[in-house]
Amino acid sequence: MVRLRAEAAIGPTGLHEEIAKRMVVHQDKLAVYQDFERQDFADSPRAATDACSTLS
């Protein structure tokens, strides 16, 4: 928040580039989690009771 305020008060501080870099990192992490989801949950949705029975 301080950098955001400084950007508004004194002009460019490189915040835009930092945010862009962080967005790329987060998008990469999201892609990994989406791959996990596709691999682990590719089957049709199961009933909650079926899911619970596999845990016990």
Alpha-carbon span 8 to 2, nearest angstrom: 10
Note the pTM of the prediction, 2 decimals.
Answer: 0.56
Predicted pLDDT at 15? 81
User: Would residue 33 count as lying in a domain?
Assistant: yes
**Predicted pLDDT of residue 41:** 84
Which domain does 10 fall in, by range?
Answer: 2-40
Please tell me the total count of domains within the chain.
1
- Is 18 inside any structural domain? yes
Give, in order, the Cα–Cα distances in Å from 1 to each of 4, 5, 13, 17, 18: 5, 6, 13, 15, 13
Q: How far apart are the first and last CA of the chain?
A: 46
CA torsion sign for 3, 29, 20, 17 is positive
pLDDT in tens, the chain (56 residues): 777 788 888 888 888 898 999 999 999 999 999 999 998 887 766 666 666 666 65
Domain annotation covers residue 8: yes
In a domain? residue 7:
yes
What is the predicted pLDDT for the residue at 26? 98
22, part of any domain = yes
CA dist., res. 6 & res. 15, Å (int): 10
pLDDT of residue 50: 66
Establish if 23 belongs to a structural domain.
yes
